[in-house]
Copies of this chain bind each other. A is one copy, B any other.
Amino acid sequence: MATTTPVPPSRKLKVACAGLGRMGQRHANNFLTNVPRAELVAVFTPAPHEIKWASQNLAPLGVAVYDDYDKMLEHESLEAVVIATVTAVHAEQALKAIAKDLHVLSEKPISISDAISQQVIDAAAKKPHLKLMCGFMRRFDSSYRDVKNKIDEGLIGKPIIYYGQTGDKRDPSGFFVQYAQFSGGIFVDCTIHDIDLALWYFGEDVKVKSISASGVAAIEPDLTLHKDVDNAVGTVEFHSGQIATFYATRMMAAGQEDQTWICGTNGKLTVNMAPAINHVTIHDSYGVRREIPQTFFERFQPGFAVEANEFTKAILDDLPVPIDPRGAVHAVKIANALQESVISGKKIYYDENENRIE
């Protein structure tokens, strides 16, 4: 890495950002400051306090601020839209953007429904000049990329068992209970990243053989009202003789602990088994200790910048987007089945074409 950074050509991609909540502000700032070949020209949000924030912080820099998504799509010379609104409107907004011949980078998931996700894919497929990408930002993280390269080089032989953990720091505010109404459940909200990685490492054409999951609402019992849990484990068998296991939790005490390992016939690769936010170690009366990221954004911030740059490059240089959006549909389908299994307690079976066996 890190010899000579390729120099950017002078033309800049005109990008708009829909949604200015937790994720949206980060995407907007990301395109504003970390993407030399892109220019943030517009933002949209329906929320008055976000409008106010944008008026104070983005408008002075020449970014147009809209409270109407459709109007934003009409912004002069606009080329691409980043969709970082609430999940429920991702698909509709993506379809509108595609209809307007705009490239789309959608936050995951495109929809919690695999059927609706597929509609978006289909709409984009009809306009092959358009780029559609789902923001699985871990694919742009240097560690996960390193794992991918090492697997492709054969370092661990054939990957057999995958473990993916998304561990959010415990948030005592009750936010996750409210959020559970719309999130699609912990597997759709969190584990979808781990599912995406498993598919990436195993090969994107693997077919599911069975899905089984278990969970418990250990710290937020009210999650059960929304058919959700705060700790869940799941297992997905593939017809290829590979197995993926998952753990999702909202209960981590130390901080964000997203961990992955993959065991192959000749070796094992792990990511983040000894988490740390930087290179500092503290030796004091609490022992020998390291501080860790508190949020996924602290962990993956550089990945978001790479994602935005590569999406921009794919458009400007007319290259394939780095993530095939069809994988996003597959991941949502698996996440939904895991969530179903947590609630039903039943194991779900599939034939070799991945059709469900009742």
Chain A interface residues toward B at CB < 8 A: 1-2, 4-5, 7-10, 25-26, 29-30, 32-33, 36, 57-58, 60-62, 142-143, 146-147, 150, 155-156, 158, 160-161, 163, 210, 212, 214-216, 218-219, 231, 233, 235, 237, 241-243, 245, 247, 249, 251-255, 257, 263-276, 278-292, 295, 297-298, 301-302, 345-347, 349
Of the candidates B267, B271, B282, the one whose C-beta lies within 8 Å of that of A150 is: B282
Minimal beta-carbon separation of A64 from chain B (angstroms)? 15
- Give the nearest-CB partner of A142 in chain B: B278
Query: Is there an interface contact between A160 and B283, defined as CB atoms closer than 8 Å?
Result: no
- Residues in B with CB closer than 8 Å to A4 are 25-26, 29
Query: Is there an interface contact between A33 and B8, defined as CB atoms closer than 8 Å?
Result: yes
Query: Is there an interface contact between A266 and B292, defined as CB atoms closer than 8 Å?
Result: no
Chain copies in complex:
4
Of the candidates B247, B271, B283, the one whose C-beta lies within 8 Å of that of A280 is: B271
Distance, CA A142 to CA B302, complexed state (A): 14
Asked whether A278 and B347 contact (CB < 8 A) given A7-B32, A251-B265, the answer is no
Query: Is there an interface contact between A265 and B156, defined as CB atoms closer than 8 Å?
Result: no
Of the candidates B9, B241, B280, the one whose C-beta lies within 8 Å of that of A270 is: B280
Query: Is there an interface contact between A347 and B216, defined as CB atoms closer than 8 Å?
Result: no
Query: Is there an interface contact between B253 and A283, defined as CB atoms closer than 8 Å?
Result: yes
Query: Is there an interface contact between B283 and A7, defined as CB atoms closer than 8 Å?
Result: no
- Give the nearest-CB partner of A212 in chain B: B212
Query: Is there an interface contact between B214 and A243, defined as CB atoms closer than 8 Å?
Result: yes
**16 new A-B contacts at CB < 8 Å, known A269-B280, A287-B291:** A1-B298, A2-B301, A4-B25, A5-B29, A5-B33, A143-B280, A146-B278, A210-B345, A219-B265, A231-B243, A235-B235, A252-B283, A254-B268, A267-B282, A275-B279, A288-B289
Asked whether A253 and B143 contact (CB < 8 A) given A10-B61, A233-B161, A274-B273, the answer is no
Of the candidates B147, B242, B274, the one whose C-beta lies within 8 Å of that of A274 is: B274
- Residues in B with CB closer than 8 Å to A150 are 280, 282
- Residues in B with CB closer than 8 Å to A233 are 161, 235, 243, 245
Among A32, A147, A235, A254, max chain B CB count under 10 A is at: A254
Q: List 23 A-B contacts (CB under 8 A).
A: A4-B26, A7-B57, A9-B61, A32-B36, A158-B218, A161-B247, A212-B212, A218-B241, A218-B265, A251-B265, A252-B283, A253-B283, A253-B285, A254-B283, A254-B287, A266-B284, A269-B280, A269-B282, A273-B273, A273-B274, A274-B274, A275-B288, A276-B288
Closest 9 CB pairs of A and B: A289-B289, A267-B284, A268-B283, A143-B279, A143-B278, A254-B283, A287-B289, A272-B279, A253-B267
- Residues in B with CB closer than 8 Å to A155 are 282, 284
- Give the nearest-CB partner of A241 in chain B: B216
Of the candidates B163, B243, B270, the one whose C-beta lies within 8 Å of that of A283 is: B270
Query: Is there an interface contact between B1 and A231, defined as CB atoms closer than 8 Å?
Result: no
- Give the nearest-CB partner of A297 in chain B: B2
